[in-house]
Structure 1
């Protein structure tokens, strides 16, 4: 494989939600863990599922479907995808995202990505783009913007 072909290939993780999927570069994901009981705190917005302990840290766990205004999937195969906040100023350097099933690794060729504008009601959300990858609609979350939103939430 030529170095130009390798440069255009991006290793990604496709995180399934109920109706959508999130797409992140592999390097943005720290770990994928089993979904387990979360601590729910008083007054959390409905898009924050709760917090859990992860590697001696308090990890906020986000239901991205709720941010999108959709019902949350309640699959037995749910996972928590632990992501880097990608913001050196973030109060919490890691964010957990609920996945409706086991995420999968993809090698995405940049030239094959088909982007489109975000839906009107999604433009204020922490999203970079909407695109089609592997025949499925996927959203690219804006992790620093999500970390900023979480910094405004009292997680105890």
Structure 2
């Protein structure tokens, strides 16, 4: 009995100098790049990779520059720039989606084992990168979505200002 090769419906997402591979289910929607709102003032020490907030379907969605998150450079959006709105799977409180700018519309691709191979990179990879791969002759990054979501959650953690104390409720 032979086992059929499993294929995964994926999107090849063109970034500035890289390509990112995501399972199709990770992407909620691809939309035109629009004006971003400012980051809420409650977010202190805003990381460079947090570009702003997107008003999408009645929600405020953080827009992140994946390239900047792992040490690369983010290019200003062009006329073909889109936003890939990604589903958050680890349950970031108050942040059910994140958005990533893409150079153009991502390409849908059915990927099976024969079409992908892992590239061993010298040195230590950034925690936001799961691995580097070659797909159909092109290099790409598979992101560590758990780590990206952890960094977003850490950024949006609403902590009380230092020096304030909660008063204990008195029992009567």
Normalised by the length of structure 2, the TM-score is 0.78
CA contact (8 A) 2:28 2:87 kept: yes
User: In 1, distance between residues paired with 2:157 and 2:102?
Assistant: 21
**Residue 108 of structure 1: how far off its partner (Å):** 1.1
Q: Does residue 100 of the first structure (1) align with residue 103 of the second (2)?
A: yes
Q: Quote the residue 2:170 is aligned against.
A: none
| Superposition map of 1:43-122 within 5 A | 43-74=45-76, 75-87=78-90, 89-91=91-93, 92-118=95-121, 120=123
Give the structure with the larger helix fraction.
1
Shift of the 120–93 alpha-carbon distance from structure 1 to 2, 3 Å rule, reads: farther
Please give the root-mean-square deviation of Cα atoms over the aligned residues, in Å. 2.2
8 A Cα contact 1:40 1:50, kept in partner: yes
Unaligned runs of 5+ residues in structure 1 are none
Residue-by-residue CA offset, 1:6-35 (whole Å, 9 max, x unaligned): xx2111001101211110010111101110
Bigger strand fraction: 1
Tell whether the 8 Å contact from 1:67 to 1:125 is kept in structure 2 after alignment: no
Q: Secondary structure at the match of 1:131?
A: strand
Task: Decide which structure has the larger Cα Rg and report it.
Answer: 2
Residue 115 of structure 1 contacts residue 131 of structure 1 at CA under 8 Å; is this kept in 2? yes
1:127 maps to 129
Extract unaligned runs of 5+ from structure 2.
159-172
Tell me: CA distance 1:154–1:19, structure 2 relative to 1, closer, same or farther (3 Å).
same
8 Å contact from structure 1 (residues 51, 155) kept in 2 = no
Matched length: 151
> Residue 118 of structure 1: CA displacement?
4.4
Q: Which runs of 4+ in 1 moved over 6 A?
A: none
- For residue 119 of structure 1, report the CA deviation from its aligned partner: 5.1
